[in-house]
Every structure is written in structure tokens, then in C-alpha cells.
Amino acid sequence: MLRKTITAVFIIGLTLSGVSFVANNRQISYQSPVSTPASTPVASLDRQNSQATQADRSPTSNYSPKQAVEYAPQAEGSAKPKTIKIRTADGYIERPNIRYQALYTPNDLRPTQWYTNKIGAPATWNKTTGSDSTTVAVIDTGFALSHDELSYRWALNTSEQGTTNQEGTVPNCTSRGLTLDKSCNNIDDDGNGYIDDWRGWDFDSGDNDPQAGKVAPTDSAVSHGTMVSGLVGAAGNNNIGAASLNWQTKLLPLQALDDTGTGYTSTIAQAIRYAVDRGVDVISMSLGTDQPDEVLQIELQYAADHNVTVVAAAGNDGCDCLSYPANYPEVIAVGATDSTDAVSNFSSYGANLDVSAPGAGSLYTTAWTATNGQSGYTSGSIYGTSFAAPIVSGLAALLKGVRPDATPAMITSWIKTGADPVVSGNGGQGRINAYNSLLLASPEIVDSLPSRTTPIYKMTKTNKDPLYTSSYDRKENLRLLQGYNYSIMRFADY
């Protein structure tokens, strides 16, 4: 049996609601019982050593993931399995249950809300603020489920809510002093294999309570899922907190990382499967590892086959070493930029990086602490591709709201084609511009625009310069942009 070690560096430090956390490095290792050829390299997430080879974005295998992967039941509090079985025509093969980490690197400065202006949110809000018919599954650490900004945004499972005369064994509604209801009766009313999953699921603990802080309430990563959720879909115009790009989309809270920001193939892959089966439109993952994961890619293909757009953080190693799952073809890989449109020095890149979004500095968003789970917000700068990816997830859901017929390929095209150039660094096809992408997705919005003289970038294969004419018809120029709707054209290489 070969000993296989995965080393992860997790750098954290932020100020939340007056509670300061200092930067720290966490080095994590585990043993895998999977037999591996002796020539297999040791995987590492350390910035100095990690040079993960960029995989070609070739199509995934054709076998049915639902029949191929078998997950062991996860009892609450039990240890994670070391391997996962994949059924093939020749029997079973085992793959390692790979460790994943949340991807962020914070600091502590007073925040100001600049990023929404940078990505064209105000102009976008004049046309749409999103649609509550869309749902984004956030796969992350636990969540501030009772937060003032988020409590009414969670996507609820109506099949596990409502009056009933049936009740399972304890713990149930009666034993907990609650009114008899499907949400607490300890019966799988909808038959999906998850008991009382009325508001998401905790795949780390194996229960229906994806609440932050159940195990390690003072850990510096405990608020990660809450911060990410606010960047995906914090409502605007509600007299509290901060507004994200998308004010309307529903959020499905799926905990696959524990309070320390650590998760495994088994928790994340099952969360993807669950999200798809719940009918979400977008999956947002601000997590990663440095090695390919066959099991996870099976579930990503399952998502693609069911018309679900998947967004993931590129990684924070600052090298040509995109993290997985961002490095897979089924995923929109997102890097981070700062307020000057420069790519952040920690943002990982590579041939498969799609776009970038603000992910460095004062991004004001929801937060959770052990002393404030209802009205907390970040009170310092936060850094990481973890915080760029959810902004893109919110945009993907916004585009799906105006174009319910859109496929993941179409949404990816509009996001990439509409992006603005970055001023330095490898940012994929640029920093997202929500308004440009909306115009590409919605011709009727273009037709309603007045003529303007403000230049926008001309979409050609070789020219990224503005049109330096004294005046021209903005609507006509946007129709030119729409001509590249489905071909994922880019501004000139930069």
C-alpha cells in the first residue's frame, strides 16, 4: 500500500464584526489506502511546489454517473471514507476521497463597496435585478441560516414542508416540542434519500442542518459559506447590509466543507448530485484541490448533462496551476482582480481560465460569528478567488433569469464575450462586465436603448481598441457584439 500525502496551505486573516483573525498556515495530510504506481507524483497545494499540469478540456467519459459512483452512507459525526467506489463493466475500481479547501486569503482594512460599479451592476439593475425563478446552489462551509440578509433567500424544498399525520422515530417533531410538520417528522417524505431536507443539507455531518459553527464556531474559516452566499445573492433596496449583483435568485445552502474549510470528494460530489437533482440553475464552488478527481468530474458531467452551469474559483497559488474543479471543461473558472482591474498576484491562472472578477479588497458581504449570526457583515478587506467566483455565479443566474432557455455554453459565451480587458496579469478573457453580458443575452434590452456617443469595445478577433468615432449608434454596435453570441469570441489576446 502506497502512502499518498496531500499538503494544503490555507492562509486566512480578516476582521468580522469586530472580531480579528490573524493569518495562519494550516498543513494537512492524510493517508490513502489506494494502490498507486510508484511513479505517481506527490500532490501539493503549496505555492512553492504546486505546478499542476493543465489538463486539456476534453469531453468526459460517456458512462452514466448515476450508475457509476457509489457513496457510502455518511452518519453524523463519522469519519470520512478513504476511498470511493466507481462501478465499471469489469467490476469496481476505487478512487481516493480527495481533500478540498476553501480558497481565500483575507486582510483587515475598512471596506467600501466598489466592485458593483466596476462590473456594471448599476446599469444592469436598471434592466433587471435577477429572477426568483432561478436557484444557485452554494457548496461551501456552513451558513448563517437566520441572517437578516439571507434567511428569506434560501431555496426551500416544498415536498418536505407542510402538515402531515405521519412521524418517524425520535428525534422528530414531538420529541423536539415542535408542531407536527414534514420538515421535522424524521421521514423522507419526498423519497430522495435525505430526511427532512427542507432547507438544504449538510453533507459533512450527514444531517439537514447546514448551519455555520456547529463544530468549530471560532475557526477563521467558519464564515466562508456565508460570505460567499452574500456575494452570490444578497438583496438590494432592502435597507440593510450590502447588495450583490443579483437581488432575486434563490440560494440552496449545501455544506460540503466543515467549519475549518475542509471537505472531501465524497461530500462535494454528493452535493453536486443533490443540487442537480433539486433542479438548480447554477452551482457555485469556492473551493479546490491541486489534483484531478475522477469522481468529481463524473458529477460535473452529470450537471452539464442536466443543463446546470457550474462556476468555481481558480485557486490562490498565483501560478500556472489552476485548481480543480475549476480546471475541468464543465466549469467556468474564475480568477480575481482588484479595484484597478489588475489580476491579483495570488490568483492562479492557466489555459483553462475563463474570466476574472473582483476578488481582492473591500468586498462588503454577509458574515457569521459565534456572537452574531443574524446581522454580521465583513468589516475588513477579503482576498481570494473564493470571492470572485460567487460574483460570476450571480451573473450566470441573472442571465438565466432573462433567458430561461439558455444552456451553460450560451451563458459561458455571454460572460466571456462581455468581459472587459484586465490591465495586467492573466485574467482569462477579462474581468466580467454584467451589463455587456446582459446586452448579449437579451436583444430586446438593446433595442430599448437610446443612441449614445460613449465608445464601447469593438469585438473582433484582433482589435480591442474602442471605436474612436465622434459619434455612432450604440444600438448598432451592440448588435455587432451579439453577432458573436455563440462563438465565444474574445477581445484581442492580452
In Å, the largest CA–CA distance within the chain is 75
Instruction: Using alpha carbons, list the distances in angstroms from residue 264 to 30, 96, 97, 334.
Output: 11, 9, 6, 21
290 is a catalytic site residue: no
CA distance 259 to 6: 19
What's residue 369's pLDDT? 96
CA distance 9 to 317: 9
pLDDT value at 395 more than 80:
yes
CA dihedral 332, 334, 339, 345 (to 10 degrees): -160
| Residues contacting 295, CB < 8 A, separation 6+ | 69, 84, 86, 95, 265, 266, 269
Q: Are residues 89 and 33 in the same domain?
A: yes
338 is a catalytic site residue: no
Across the range 266-295, mean pLDDT stands at 97
Across the range 438-453, mean pLDDT stands at 65
CA distance 145 to 80: 25
Q: How confident is the model at residue 113 (pLDDT cuts 50, 70, 90)?
A: confident
Could you tell me if 299 and 325 are in contact, meaning their C-beta atoms sit under 8 angstroms apart?
no
Q: Which amino acid would we find at residue 346?
A: F
Q: How confident is the model at residue 38 (pLDDT cuts 50, 70, 90)?
A: very low
Q: Which position has the higher pLDDT, 57 or 52? A: 57
CA distance 265 to 366: 27
Pairing assessment for the beta strands 83-88 and 309-313 based on DSSP bridges: unpaired
Q: Are residues 99 and 224 in the same domain?
A: yes
Q: Are residues 402 and 489 in the same domain?
A: no
What's residue 70's pLDDT? 77
Q: Which amino acid would we find at residue 326?
A: A
What's residue 99's pLDDT? 86
Q: Which position has the higher pLDDT, 129 or 460? A: 129
Q: Are residues 175 and 318 in the same domain?
A: no
Residue 379's H or E segment, with its range, is none
The pTM of the full predicted model, rounded to 2 decimals, is: 0.75
108 is a catalytic site residue: no
Q: Are residues 213 and 303 in the same domain?
A: yes
* 150-189: pLDDT as tens digits: 999 999 999 999 999 999 999 999 999 999 999 999 999 9
Pairing assessment for the beta strands 360-361 and 382-383 based on DSSP bridges: antiparallel
* 316-374: pLDDT as tens digits: 999 999 999 999 999 999 999 999 999 999 999 999 999 999 999 889 999 999 999 99
Pairing assessment for the beta strands 309-313 and 282-285 based on DSSP bridges: parallel
Q: Are residues 132 and 227 in the same domain?
A: yes
CA distance 327 to 341: 23
pLDDT value at 24 more than 50:
no
What's residue 465's pLDDT? 29
What's residue 76's pLDDT? 59
List, in sequence order, every beta strand (DSSP E) within 200-347: 201-202, 250-255, 262-264, 282-285, 287-288, 309-313, 331-337
Choose one of 137, 169, 190: the last residue of a domain. 190
Calculate what percentage of the chain has a pLDDT beyond 70. Answer: 73
| Residues contacting 453, CB < 8 A, separation 6+ | 470, 471, 472, 474
What's residue 77's pLDDT? 60
Q: Are residues 333 and 372 in the same domain?
A: yes
What's residue 72's pLDDT? 67
The mean of the pLDDT values for the chain is 78
Which member of 108, 140, 219, 420 is catalytic?
Answer: 140
CA distance 31 to 188: 35
Q: What are phi and psi of 95, to 5 degrees?
A: -130, 150
Q: Are residues 149 and 172 in the same domain?
A: no
Which member of 32, 244, 284, 386 is catalytic?
Answer: 386
Q: Are residues 149 and 163 in the same domain?
A: no
CA distance 16 to 13: 10
List, in sequence order, every beta strand (DSSP E) within 178-243: 201-202
What's residue 476's pLDDT? 34
Q: Are residues 299 and 216 in the same domain?
A: yes
Residue carrying the nine cell digits 450508475: 67
Q: Are residues 104 and 220 in the same domain?
A: yes
CA distance 102 to 1: 29
- The count of domains in the chain is 3
**In Å, how far from its chain's centre is CA 5?**
26
List, in sequence order, every beta strand (DSSP E) within 182-320: 201-202, 250-255, 262-264, 282-285, 287-288, 309-313
Which member of 108, 224, 341, 354 is catalytic?
Answer: 224
> 16 - beta bridge partners?
19, 378
Q: Cis check for the bond before 329: say yes or no (omega within 30 of 0).
A: no
What is the SS3 assignment for 83?
Answer: strand
- Quick one: CA dihedral 53, 58, 64, 65, positive or negative? positive
Q: Are residues 377 and 473 in the same domain?
A: no
Pairing assessment for the beta strands 19-20 and 15-16 based on DSSP bridges: antiparallel
CA distance 174 to 181: 10
CATH code where residue 400 lies: 3.40.50.200
pLDDT value at 407 more than 70:
yes
Could you tell me if 286 and 387 are in contact, meaning their C-beta atoms sit under 8 angstroms apart?
yes
Q: Which of 413, 415, 480 is nearest to 446 (CA)?
A: 480
Q: Which of 314, 335, 321 is nearest to 419 (CA)?
A: 335
* 133-145: pLDDT as tens digits: 999 999 999 999 9
Q: How confident is the model at residue 6 (pLDDT cuts 50, 70, 90)?
A: very low
Cα within 13 Å of Cα(356), Cβ side: 37
What's residue 380's pLDDT? 75
Range of the domain at 167: 159-190
Q: Cis check for the bond before 171: say yes or no (omega within 30 of 0).
A: yes
Grid coordinates standing for 221? 474559516
